[in-house]
A and B are shown apart, each in its own frame.
Chain A
């Protein structure tokens, strides 16, 4: 078939490459919440919460902080 190659998009400069060393940081919130040795205990308690509960809830902040940092560091400058 004589359909033209749909390769036109590649002629536009491919500006956004995803490879950034910052991305490696994302493995922290993937690995840390999966290590029970950190959180599987009762003390210290905070507001009556055993460590098991407050520390696992605190990992949410770790996840938010990491994704926010990586996003800020890898977003394309000068756009939007």
Chain B
């Protein structure tokens, strides 16, 4: 019953109202001369310094869903859930090497999205459209999942209803507020709120990892309790260490997820909003502080085991919702007011990434669908306006996903999202280094990688489901005599690359036109203070330039 959780609900609501007010005020924070420009609304004026970028990108990459789902995975499966730690270590050197180049070329050409870059680099609106659609499709379920994070908290506080509408009303209200201030303030809203969110999360987790082990008898006892649970379970692949079967899956999932994470439009939006290359590079040394936090949060799953937490029932009869273990642990172990703070941290933690993701998806639509296909001469003010409206549509879509569909569907979609966003790697990430690939090759490779990835995900069974049961693909399906499993996304992107290379060789032999590269080699090193090329004159110049043979 919600009455038992009154203190928690009050603390949660107060903090929620505080950040909502901040979201609206953010429009005036570091106020721009002219908000009616996509650079201002969608990228915060490309002006964020070290601290803001740290909070913004940290708040962006480490979402509420991560904070709820990773410990849930540890609770359910043990060591395999710890992949989130290597995953978030590996990503930073990759960004350091790769996304800095994207920042430079985007800074000089005024690119807002990765698809803008691809269009210019490979002179292919079709490829850019595919990249944009992939980004939007991959991002939508990710936004919906943020709602799953809030729902887990609301459920624990007893805020539920008899029918679907009543049960979802708090989320609908929360998202309506979020939509309103994102509409008004653009990227400045999540940037400002991220300060509160991350401060709350750091406080909660520091308290949790000192206080809870003290209450539960120390780390040795916590690991012993987890070990005992997994020993008793019939599943051969759980345990507090990896076994011979899931090691390959573990490392390919960590590596594949790292590659996918920095290709997601919302990560790129966060990086492009920073002021210069140094801000990004310095942040790659500072952001791992969040990885440490995530590693400790993951261990909350084991603390829940040691504390004897029983997850609340799931949406369907007889299932359990492991996502509720962390909120339940807080409810059981913390005083009410502090549990309320912890819940607010998770709830607000959902708002920051949801806002950035909807902005990123809206920018993709505006730049690569609206401007490319619907209104080529759109002014910057019109672009900003379309993006603002699209961000509202995206959020309505995300809420609809949660209200009308089984949340499991969003989780499946997010699983698919990681695999499909990886298929943009050859065009976006490798494209920053080389133009060797032919645009036709990239398109065919993308299509094959998508098809293969979907088929493989469909084939993965789990104890409870026949299809889409996870991302660990048994190699025996390919005819290998082994029980090892591998992450679907890695296989799909390797095949994508191979196909792209073969088709490139073939169409080049057939002398198919390659288009004109709109970038020059030193675009990739440009830094703050470098003169910008205005997008308008650039497109004209592109058509005037002689095609290279």
Contact = CB atoms under 8 A, between A and B. Distances in A.
Interface of A: 1-10, 12, 14, 16-18, 23, 26-27, 29-30, 33-36, 40-42, 45, 47-50, 52-53, 56-57, 59-60, 62-64, 66-68, 70-71, 75, 80
Interface in B45-70: none
B525 A67 contact: no
B76 to A, nearest CB: 17
Nearest to A25: B93
Contacts of B219: 47-49
Residue among A14, A52, A57, A63 facing the most chain B CB atoms (10 A cut-off) = A63
Interface string B518-533: 0010111111001101
A18 B90 contact: no
Contact of B295 (A3, A50, A57, A66): A57
Contacts of B540: 1, 3
A80 B278 contact: yes
A66 B288 CA distance: 12
B409 interface: no
Contacts of A56: 82, 85-86, 295
Interface residues of B, number: 57
Given A56-B86, A60-B292, A67 B285 contact: yes
Given A14-B525, A48-B219, A34 B251 contact: yes
Contacts of B240: 42, 50, 52
Contacts, number: 140
A68 to B, nearest CB: 4
A47 B534 CA distance: 57
A63 B526 contact: no
B530 A9 contact: yes
Contacts of B108: 9
A23 B142 CA distance: 33
A61 B534 CA distance: 41
25 contacts: A1-B543, A2-B544, A3-B540, A3-B544, A6-B538, A9-B533, A17-B525, A18-B525, A26-B93, A29-B92, A29-B93, A30-B94, A33-B89, A34-B254, A35-B251, A41-B241, A45-B220, A49-B223, A50-B240, A50-B241, A52-B79, A60-B292, A64-B285, A64-B288, A75-B278
Contact of A1 (B242, B291, B544): B544
Contacts of B545: 5
B101 A18 contact: yes
Given A3-B541, A9-B108, A63-B93, 16 more contacts: A1-B541, A3-B537, A12-B531, A16-B277, A16-B527, A29-B89, A29-B93, A30-B90, A30-B93, A36-B242, A36-B247, A52-B242, A57-B85, A57-B295, A60-B288, A60-B291
Contact of A53 (B299, B523, B526): B299
A36 B250 contact: yes
Contacts of B89: 29, 33, 59-60, 62-63
A18 B524 contact: yes
A22 B292 CA distance: 25
Given A3-B544, A36-B247, A40-B242, A50 B223 contact: yes
Interface string B286-306: 001001100100010000000
A67 B92 CA distance: 8
A63 B288 contact: yes
A11 B530 CA distance: 11
B229 interface: no
Contact of B93 (A8, A27, A42): A27
Contacts of A52: 79, 82, 240-242
A40 B241 contact: yes
A3 B538 CA distance: 9
B82 A29 contact: no
A4 to B, nearest CB: 7
Contacts of A49: 219, 223
Contacts of B101: 18
Interface string B316-347: 00000000000000000000000000000000
